[in-house]
Amino acid sequence: MSRPIPGHGHRFDSLTSLLNQAAYNEDISLVQKGEVSLPYPSACVRLDVDNFKTVNDSYGHAAGDEALRHIAAIVRRTARERDRVYRISGDEFGVLCANYTEEEAAGAMRRVCSALGSTPVRWVNQEGKAFEFYVSVSIGVAEFEQAINIGEAFELADKASYASKAAGKGRVSRSAGQDLSKTLGTEPN
């Protein structure tokens, strides 16, 4: 990015310490207004936690919170220093990857899927009983091109994440500029 996007304390999610939805919306607005420019190529990523309601129903909301912190930590470790990682809503995350092609971003997100599949969430409830469980995410990746705006790129990534869910969850789908009403190239982790 030619100008760093400003960061303020109110822009961080209190649970995960990631950038929050307000930061996400502001960053998209700054890029769309041309106040911040992204290098080409850049990729937009959406991650949606699979079966999150089941985690909350089975282990309680505190365990669900721990699962979100676990996912956030793995995404943050996998992302590069210059990437912008957001918690967009309850169980949805986003990543803005500057200087990454869609293919490179998909490779990084496959590493996220793999890490989640090999690293359990560890949690101890109020009674002191320890639990271990695994979580997965369905991920969509879209390359931000000069022909589309960043908001549309994140929409394509969001649709691709739904294609991942439909194809079996815990995987990465790339939009590759395709019409997402057609079959996407989904890739198991």
Supply the residues annotated as catalytic.
Answer: 91
Contacting residues for 138 by C-beta, under 8 A, at least 6 apart: 47, 48, 50, 161, 162, 164, 165, 169, 170, 171, 173
- The angle formed by the CA atoms of residues 140, 144 and 148, to the nearest 5 degrees, is 110
DSSP H or E segment with residue 3: none
Using an 8 Å Cβ cutoff, are 87 and 75 in contact?
Answer: no
What region does 76 belong to: left with phi over 0, alpha with psi -120 to 50, or beta? alpha
Q: Note whether 69 and 129 are within 8 A (CB).
A: no
The alpha carbon torsion through 87, 32, 177, 105 (nearest 10 deg) reads -40
